[in-house]
Structure 1
Amino acid sequence: MWSTVHARDVVAAWDVASPERPSRVAGVTMAGFGVHSITAPLRMVPHPGLTLVLEFGAGQPIVDDVAGPRPWGSLVAGLGFGFGGAVLVRGENVECVQVRLSPAIARAVLGVSPADLDGAVVSLDDLWGREAARIRERLGEVSSWEERFALTDALLARRNEAASAIDAEVSWAWHRILAGRGLVRIDALATELGWSRKRLWSRFRSQLGMQPKLAAKLVRFDHAVHRLVAGEGAARVAADGGYADQSHLHRDVVAFTGVTPGTVVDEPFLAVDDTAWPTRAAR
């Protein structure tokens, strides 16, 4: 699928491509982006997955975070990247395959633990060395998005098969949090595993890079904010999403994005999700 998405007046147009079939690697979703010109910086909105950007266009994305604005080529952004609304992105003539990775498979695919990334952004060259340049060249040589998706999927599958996975218990806890849309009690997960609460927190944090309570909060936020973008009322979203009240939802949205629920619904990164990630598969 190939669509052009207009995101208010902030972006002239995003050309967005989605694969015709799901990835062979569970926990992977992909989309292709062609961004002609970002006329004003775009806010990165945290979501419950890591982001791998494989760029091959004439331009490079410019990421503006606590370290200041810097041009990036291919990159990896950690779990919850953009927390607090402090990360902005701009650029011209950027083409890339963007991959969302479940933290449960991120260590195998990336070769680095999500905990080592700690929610930050790093250059793919620093992680993969010459392999990052080779995949960039190959993506630029093919002419269709389906070929690019196939190349990317083969790369991810090969890396995933060659590396060790995280503990099965930690993976189970993550997927329970996802399935419950963040509305799970961490103590209850520990009890089901036969672990102490301290052990679950320690293993989860060391392998996925985030405490389980914050991970559940991020997953809950992700579902709530997409319902807001879809036009649902804040009161209903708060009630259905496990928030104590509408003020509680308001505080969470501000904490994650730096803006209010009334403002976040116009964020271009959220507006494009239904096109780029139409199934919103489990991450």
Structure 2
Amino acid sequence: MMGYRAVDVPDGTHLGMPSASLTFIVSADDGVEAAADVGQLPLARPQRVILGGLHVRASHVRQRRGQAGVQLAVHPLAARALFGVPAAELSVDDFDGSAVLGAVATELSDRVAEATSWQRAFGVVADFVQRRSDGRDDVRPELHHAWRMMRCSGGRVSVATVAAEVGLTPRHLGTLFRREVGLAPKAVARLMRFETATARIARRVAEGGCVDLAGVATSTGFSDQAHLSAEFVAFTGLPPRKWIGAEFRNIQDGGHRMSDPDNHDPVESGRLADTASP
């Protein structure tokens, strides 16, 4: 969970990068405009609560001065408890959180907007999470175990190995994954590898350094730089160097708040005033 308040960020658009976490944003302003396709962005309405499932193509987000709110990276297996539906039922092209949460979405956004400090804003969201989950967990333990194995390996462990460990056939495991999160285990593993790679690239750019794409590829489970480049094109439509060039200002301005799953340390920039995490 991270709070953001953009002060010195130019108007524009940036890519919402695919990851192995659900996107959940509670705005403290008029809302966020997002669309699955850049051509749809001019038609997007501001949404005070953004909620999206696991997507394998980058979304497009309108970036405006003064935007503020609280953003969470939500574990997909927590969707039933928090949102009342499995992650597989969350839209990947319509990010209107009120369609899932109803009037609760507006109430939550109002309370975050009224908070007089980050501590109180985080408390509002944390209270929502606690009340919604209330210790419930309706997800099969085999899925929890399988997800932990995949996450701990950075998406490198084979599906066959995971299935054998949790006592299921690869086909049965795939069925359960698709039913719960909307993607097959192999697709989730790809997202995990890509998420780690993009977070490390964004961190290096934010630090003002030169990005060693070959080194990033090797350290995050890709066979080589060409493999990483192919995944970038598949997920974003851009090779990594073009993505870095197109998104460089956004990264430097704090337009990306990515977390490296290996160290849980969010990439952030000093150009977002009052950026905070609990």
TM-score band w.r.t. shorter chain: 0.7 to 0.9
Structure 1 residue 281: Cα displacement: 6.5
Alignment correspondent of 1:217: 190
Q: Cα 1:169–1:255, aligned 2, differ >3 Å: closer, same or farther?
A: same
Structure 1 residue 163: Cα displacement: 4.2
Distance in 2 between residues matched to 1:127 and 1:86, nearest whole Å? 19
Larger strand share, 1 or 2: 1
Does residue 218 of structure 2 align to residue 239 of structure 1?
yes
What secondary structure does 1:47 align onto? coil
Does residue 176 of structure 2 align to residue 203 of structure 1?
yes
- Output one character per residue of 1:10-40: Cα deviation in whole Å (capped at 9) or x when no partner: xxxxxxxxxxxxxxxxxxxx11112345422
Moved more, 91-100 or 101-110: 91-100
Note the residue ranges of structure 1 that are not aligned, 5 or more in a row: 1-29
Asked if the contact 1:86–1:258 (Cα under 8 Å) also holds between the matched residues in 2, the reply is: no
Structure 1 residue 273: Cα displacement: 8.2
Moved more, 89-98 or 68-77: 89-98
Identity of matched residues, %: 24
Moved more, 247-256 or 119-128: 119-128
Q: Cα 1:171–1:274, aligned 2, differ >3 Å: closer, same or farther?
A: same
What secondary structure does 2:173 align onto? helix
Q: Cα 1:252–1:53, aligned 2, differ >3 Å: closer, same or farther?
A: same
* TM-score after normalising by structure 2: 0.81
**Residues paired across the two proteins, number:** 250
Q: Cα 1:106–1:207, aligned 2, differ >3 Å: closer, same or farther?
A: same
The one-letter amino acid of 1:256's match is F
What secondary structure does 1:122 align onto? coil
Asked if the contact 1:44–1:269 (Cα under 8 Å) also holds between the matched residues in 2, the reply is: no
* TM-score after normalising by structure 1: 0.79
Moved more, 68-77 or 271-280: 271-280
Note the residue ranges of structure 2 that are not aligned, 5 or more in a row: 205-209, 267-278
RMSD: 2.5
Alignment correspondent of 2:147: 174
The one-letter amino acid of 1:75's match is I
Alignment correspondent of 1:280: 264
What secondary structure does 1:46 align onto? coil
What secondary structure does 1:93 align onto? coil
Alignment equivalent of 1:61, drawn from 32, 50, 53: 32
The one-letter amino acid of 2:51's match is V
Asked if the contact 1:45–1:270 (Cα under 8 Å) also holds between the matched residues in 2, the reply is: no
